[in-house]
Amino acid sequence: MSSGIGASVKRKEDKRFTTGKGKYTDDVRNDNQAYAAFVRSPHAHARVKGIDTSAAMAMDGVIDVLNGQQLTGDGIGNIICGWAITSKDGSPMNMGAWSALATEKVRYVGDAVAVVIAETQALARIAAEAVDVDYEELPVAASVLTSMKDGAPQIHENAPGNQIYDWELGDEAAADAGLASATHITSLDLTNNRLSPNPMEPRSAVAKYDDAEDHYTLYTTSQNPHVARLVLSAFYNVAPEHKLRVIAPDVGGGFGAKIYIYPEEITCLWASMKTNRSVKWTSDRSEAFITDAHGRDHVTSAKMGFDDAGKIVGFKVDTIANIGAYMSLFSSSVPTYLYAPLLSGQYNIQNIHCNVRTYYTNTVPVDAYRGAGRPEATYLVERMMETAAREMGMDPAELRRRNFIQEFPHQTPVLMQYDAGDFPKILEMAQETADVAGFPARRAEAEARGKLRGIGYSTFIEACGLAPSKAAGSLGAGVGLWESAEVRVNPVGSIEILTGSHSHGQGHETTFAQVVADRFGVPIENVQIVHGDTDKVQFGMGTYGSRSGPVGMSAVAKALDKVEAKVRKIAAHALEASEDDIVIEGGEVKVAGTDKSMAWHEVGLAAYIAHNLPEGMEPGLKESAFFDPVNFSFPSGAFICEVEVDPDTGTTEIVQFTSADDFGTIINPMIVEGQVHGGVTQGIGQALLEQVVYDEDGQLLNGSYMDYTMPRAADVPSFHVQHHETPSPNNPLGVKGCGEAGAIGSPPAVINAITDAIGTNDLAMPATPQAVWRAIQAGAKSVAAE
Amino acid sequence: MDLTGEYRIAAPREVVWAALNDAEVLKACIPGCTELVKTSDTTMEAKVALKIGPVKAKFSGAVELQDIEAPQSYTIQGEGNGGVAGFAKGSADVLLTEDGEETILAFSSHAKVGGKLAQIGSRLINSTAKKLANKFFDSFHAQFNDEVPPD
């Protein structure tokens, strides 16, 4: 069987993962290992009046107890947000100071005020309990609706009224004019529920300071070790880049939560210098709930106008987003440039305006979580389309079809230029597989059993492959978003690929090898992927925003081009043929139309022996490349969800879920299907089960798996996943990215199906049995009142 | 979280009132109380060990009696720090009404928890608080009729 592009090759990395041999950060044990435990605030907002560490310091095995005054005193810089958003009045965003250990104030439950370094983890935790912190409690703003009110508690001095920015995209006058010309206007008020990311492996950091070399090594659960090194060095002043090595070994899931550089990594590095010990911290699940950046948390009010023919003539959106207590690394970009540019969906809309205000609250910082901004946009657009179709008495699929973009490239009024797609085709594929024609009969059959059956659509688009560096820079990004790769062909012909992408479950060791196998016809066993170590890989921007395929693999493809060119020259010279006649296939380098050939490894050997190379050619066979995308890639999909609701209990069962996705070129269909399964499951989690709950005092009320409901196997059906490939013209492989599609597209499909089943549109996520039951009761009441 | 309740106690109001102001009685009745020391007529220092759901914590804190109208009513207010388990604070308005030779004790309390207690114990706070209140008043009740309080 081929192991090239398009083959469902089994994952190379799974042997170690399924036999317990993965090497994760917590598996690292250095000589002289010490352990950190953080002293965290139980209050959501309080002044720190004093920290008494004497009892902890007196305990046997306690090495040191360190606080924020010491940390800032040593010149460790504040944690920053790396994307500058400018308000519509031209003013810069109001970024409040965030010290890795709080100095004067704590701003959320979990904010760290001190760290205990001890000989064992258990000792560190016991000693942390003995640290006595004197807090003066302050009034709390636990939700964005509280924090934006006049007279709300002031969380950061430099953010008056807690506002971070008031930003807009699109032409407001045009959107107003469009709405004024509409014959039908649909209005919606939606909340995008706050989620906890919950990667399987909790965050961890092991820092080691070498005083002889004045050098630091950090093992950490990162999706982007180079970015971590850059930020730790340039902004947090931990050490200059050449004195800091960051290694992200096997990482068990990220979903965005492991992009950012958190207080714990900074503190461990600094503490390892202070104590001259290797310092390890590993989060437990309770700690993860109150320290890992949360996702979503939007409140939106929107209007969409339609003409007589059902064409969208205007779309106006007003969103309020919760940033949490501090601005995490990419927090500012999620409700702005990762959100509003997606509001055109798959539809040809000429007039769109979106206003976004963000506010601080006394909650865990909020940042990107699988999909990041795009699920929020998709939920709004697709709930809007379904609601409008119902109000206008139209088939929701037909309303979508009338508005689909049919020609590419397509320029939206909200920055994006879509690359390629075939929206009617994927909708048709999904409708056929889901047997939409047979739905009325299934609904009638369900009704006979006392169940309410409903069907819901979501036809969505996402922007992946972050991002053209120049464009990102013009929108405020603090970094370029290219990717790098290096291809090393060894003298024996085996190949190492060094990539700045980082795999934390995606299967890069397999798919990146497939790209190489496809190019040269070598077995994928002979290809090794090296990633996650700043000492090995020159540089890279990491993995998030479904960028490893469109950007990371493209850099590999570019480096392969260079290798291939050199191989042709070497072989043409050795075989006394023209370069143009050289064909590379099946592990051989041949002269077309002759029986002359060299085995792949013979070319590698020739390059390194260098006895017979073309005049002037350097020995060796190693090439590198940087790929900076010219545009985002735009995966699209059509999801159809079918549910049955028990009207007596409000329990929803997802009986059928169909996806038809266009990810462009697919490298490994099995892995892509796995990504869709995982993404859709997380989306179903958001739609039915998950929600972070704070009380009005800023206390997190559901910070454990007893209270925060993660989706389980029994909550999801067996998915029908299919693909249609329209390759992206903007990268060499035509890939678009598939990591987030499921989480982006599925929540509105689920809610559209439930609201179809129960016949009332007023239903918020998560649609728990209680929420659905209440919606049914309220719907019955309003019908009775009419 | 709010809780109210009413108990009939087979003792005259003055006797009940005296007991409500007796640190030794309170110590015997507060579930998990290992220490209760009067620091003035109206303030006490307390140490209490509690288990709420999966969280076990030793609280140390201050108790204060306010709005005293002997022998009829007071507000008892407490605030405890449980280390990494978080904190608990609350108050109860206690009202004694004479009913012949007996006394009716009515209370209305309000409590708040924070930190880990809220994070992983909030689901159990109401039932735990109810249980603790019942235990307190059962023990308190037993002070007057020599009964062994039920578990």
User: Would you call A90 exposed, middle or buried from its count of C-beta atoms within 10 A (0-12, 13-18, 19+)?
Assistant: exposed
Chain A CB within 8 Å of residue B90 CB: no
Token duo for residue A549? 């395929």
List the single residue in A with minimal CA-CA distance to B82.
A129
Which pairing describes strands A483-489 and A622-627: parallel, antiparallel, or unpaired?
A: antiparallel
pLDDT at B90 over 90: no
The domains of chain B, with CATH numbers, are 2-142 (3.30.530.20)
Provide the mean pLDDT of chain A.
96
User: Where a domain ends, among A270, A291, A312?
Assistant: A291
Domain ranges, residue A729: 298-466+631-785
Of A109, A130, A706, the CB nearest to B115: A109
A330-364: per-residue pLDDT in tens?
Answer: 999 999 999 999 999 999 999 999 999 999 999 99
Q: Note if the bond before A766 is cis, omega within 30 degrees.
A: yes
pLDDT at A41 over 80: yes
CATH of residue A76 = 3.90.1170.50
3-state SS, A579-627, equals HHHEEEECCEEEECCCCCEEEHHHHHHHHHHCCCCCCCCCCCCEEEEEE
What is the per-residue pLDDT for B149?
A: 47
Dmax over CA atoms of chain B, in Å, equals 48
User: Would you call A414 exposed, middle or buried from its count of C-beta atoms within 10 A (0-12, 13-18, 19+)?
Assistant: buried
Distance (Å) of CA A668 to CA A501, A518, A681: 17, 12, 20
Identify the helix (H) or strand (E) that includes residue A113.
strand A112-118
The residue among A213, A286, A276, A293 whose CA lies nearest residue A245 is: A213
Chain A CB within 8 Å of residue B58 CB: no
What is the DSSP secondary-structure string of A765-781? SS--HHHHHHHHHHHHH
Name the β-bridge partners of A208: A217
Q: Cβ contact (<8 Å) for A695 and B118?
A: yes
The angle formed by the CA atoms of residues B132, B136 and B140, to the nearest 5 degrees, is: 170
Residue A286 with chain B: CB contacts under 8 Å: 116, 119-120
3-state SS, A736-768, equals CCCCCHHHHHHHHHHHHHHHHHHCCCCCCCCCC
Q: Total structural domains in chain A?
A: 3
pLDDT at B103 over 70: yes
pLDDT at B55 over 80: no
User: Would you call A484 exposed, middle or buried from its count of C-beta atoms within 10 A (0-12, 13-18, 19+)?
Assistant: buried
The alpha-carbon gap from B41 to the nearest alpha carbon of chain A, in Å, equals: 26
Residue A430 resides in a domain: yes
Distance (Å) of CA B83 to CA A41, A125, A129, A229: 10, 11, 5, 34
Chain A CB within 8 Å of residue B122 CB: yes
pLDDT at A655 over 50: yes
Q: Is B146 left (phi over 0), alpha (psi -120 to 50) or beta?
A: left
Q: Cβ contact (<8 Å) for B114 and A706?
A: no
List the single residue in A with minimal CA-CA distance to B58.
A129
Three-state DSSP class for residue A669? helix
B18-34: per-residue pLDDT in tens?
Answer: 999 999 999 999 889 99
Q: Taking residues A179-207, what's their average pLDDT?
A: 98
**Separation between Cα atoms, residue B79 and residue B64, nearest integer Å:** 9
> Testing the interface with A: which of B79, B89, B116 to mutate, by most A Cβ within 10 A?
B116
Contacts of A445 (CB under 8 A, 6+ apart): none
For the ranges A198-207, A292-301, B131-140, which has the lowest average pLDDT? B131-140
Of B113, B119, B123, the CB nearest to A290: B119
The alpha-carbon gap from A324 to the nearest alpha carbon of chain B, in Å, equals: 17
pLDDT at B150 over 60: no
For the ranges A96-105, A636-645, B76-85, B91-100, which has the lowest average pLDDT? B76-85
Token duo for residue A397? 């699929």
What is the DSSP secondary-structure string of A285-308? HHHHHHHSPBB--EEEEEEEEE-T
What is the per-residue pLDDT for A783?
A: 74
The alpha-carbon gap from A133 to the nearest alpha carbon of chain B, in Å, equals: 9
Q: Taking residues A532-561, what's their average pLDDT?
A: 96
The residue among A737, A523, A496, A425 whose CA lies nearest residue A7 is: A523
Distance (Å) of CA A356 to CA A173, A330, A362, A669, B2: 17, 16, 20, 38, 38
Residue A285 with chain B: CB contacts under 8 Å: none
pLDDT at B139 over 80: yes
Residues A590 and A622 in one domain: yes
Three-state DSSP class for residue A94? coil
Residue A38 with chain B: CB contacts under 8 Å: none
Residues A326 and A342 in one domain: yes
CB B92 within 8 A of CB B76: yes
Residue B119 with chain A: CB contacts under 8 Å: 109, 286, 289-290, 699-704
The alpha-carbon gap from B111 to the nearest alpha carbon of chain A, in Å, equals: 12
Residue A551 resides in a domain: yes
Residue B118 with chain A: CB contacts under 8 Å: 109, 695, 699-701
Proportion of chain B in helix, strand, coil states, percent, rounded to 5: 30, 50, 20
Token duo for residue A308? 């007589």
CB A497 within 8 A of CB A530: yes
User: Where a domain ends, among A609, A627, A645?
Assistant: A627
Residues A123 and A267 in one domain: yes
**Separation between Cα atoms, residue A692 and residue A192, nearest integer Å:** 11
Residue A170 resides in a domain: no
**Separation between Cα atoms, residue A621 and residue A563, nearest integer Å:** 7
Residue A320 resides in a domain: yes
Q: Cβ contact (<8 Å) for B84 and A125?
A: yes
pLDDT at B89 over 80: yes
3-state SS, A531-581, equals CCECCCCCCCCCCCCCCHHHHHHHHHHHHHHHHHHHHHHHHHHHHCCCHHH
Residues A682 and A753 in one domain: yes
Residues A622 and A657 in one domain: no
Residues A619 and A495 in one domain: yes
Which residues on chain A place their C-beta less than 8 Å from a C-beta of chain B? Answer: 39-44, 109, 125, 128-130, 286, 289-290, 695, 697, 699-704, 706-707
Token duo for residue A572? 């043409």
List the single residue in A with minimal CA-CA distance to B113.
A699
Residues A273 and A374 in one domain: no
List the single residue in A with minimal CA-CA distance to B59.
A129
Give percent of chain A above pLDDT 70. Answer: 100
**Separation between Cα atoms, residue A43 and residue B113, nearest integer Å:** 10
Residue A128 with chain B: CB contacts under 8 Å: 84
Q: Taking residues A7-24, what's their average pLDDT?
A: 96
Q: How confident is the model at residue A293 (pLDDT cuts 50, 70, 90)?
A: very high
Residue A354 resides in a domain: yes
The residue among A632, A234, A547 whose CA lies nearest residue A368 is: A547
The alpha-carbon gap from B62 to the nearest alpha carbon of chain A, in Å, equals: 14
Contacts of A375 (CB under 8 A, 6+ apart): A192, A296, A683, A686, A740, A743, A744, A747
pLDDT at A129 over 50: yes
Half-sphere exposure of A692 (CA within 13 A, CB side): 30
Residues A302 and A263 in one domain: no
The angle formed by the CA atoms of residues A293, A296 and A300, to the nearest 5 degrees, is: 150
Token duo for residue A618? 């350097």
List the single residue in B with minimal CA-CA distance to A692.
B119
Of A41, A125, A286, the CB nearest to B119: A286
Q: Taking residues A563-584, what's their average pLDDT?
A: 97
CB B84 within 8 A of CB A128: yes
> Testing the interface with B: which of A59, A131, A707 to mutate, by most B Cβ within 10 A?
A707
User: Where a domain ends, among A269, A291, A313?
Assistant: A291
Q: Taking residues A685-690, what's their average pLDDT?
A: 98
Residue A41 with chain B: CB contacts under 8 Å: 115
Residue A509 resides in a domain: yes
pLDDT at B151 over 50: no
Q: How confident is the model at residue B132 (pLDDT cuts 50, 70, 90)?
A: confident
**Separation between Cα atoms, residue A498 and residue A511, nearest integer Å:** 13
CB A498 within 8 A of CB A485: yes
pLDDT at B73 over 50: yes
Place of tokens 């435990």: A37
CB A128 within 8 A of CB A284: no
**Given CA atoms A13, A245, A204, A502 in this order, what sign does their dihedral have?**
negative
Residue A748 resides in a domain: yes
CB A237 within 8 A of CB A77: yes
Q: Cβ contact (<8 Å) for B120 and A697?
A: no
pLDDT at B54 over 70: yes
Q: Is A737 left (phi over 0), alpha (psi -120 to 50) or beta?
A: left
CATH of residue A604 = 3.30.365.10
Chain A CB within 8 Å of residue B83 CB: yes
- Backbone φ and ψ of A542, nearest 5°: 85, -170
Q: How confident is the model at residue B146 (pLDDT cuts 50, 70, 90)?
A: low
Chain A CB within 8 Å of residue B61 CB: no
Q: Cβ contact (<8 Å) for A707 and B122?
A: yes
Distance (Å) of CA A473 to CA A27, A158, A478, B130: 38, 25, 7, 58
What is the per-residue pLDDT for B88?
A: 87
**Separation between Cα atoms, residue A25 and residue A29, nearest integer Å:** 9
Residues A459 and A513 in one domain: no
Chain A CB within 8 Å of residue B123 CB: yes
Residues A621 and A520 in one domain: yes
Size of interface A-B (CB pairs under 8 A): 56
Residues A278 and A350 in one domain: no
Residues A544 and A561 in one domain: yes
> Testing the interface with A: which of B110, B120, B123 to mutate, by most A Cβ within 10 A?
B120
Chain-centroid distance of CA A592 in Å reads 46
The residue among A254, A203, A264 whose CA lies nearest residue A224 is: A254
**Separation between Cα atoms, residue B82 and residue B74, nearest integer Å:** 26
The alpha-carbon gap from A111 to the nearest alpha carbon of chain B, in Å, equals: 11
List the single residue in A with minimal CA-CA distance to B116.
A42
CB A737 within 8 A of CB A672: no
Residue B61 with chain A: CB contacts under 8 Å: none
Residue B123 with chain A: CB contacts under 8 Å: 701-702, 706-707
Residue A287 resides in a domain: yes
Q: Cβ contact (<8 Å) for A706 and B86?
A: no
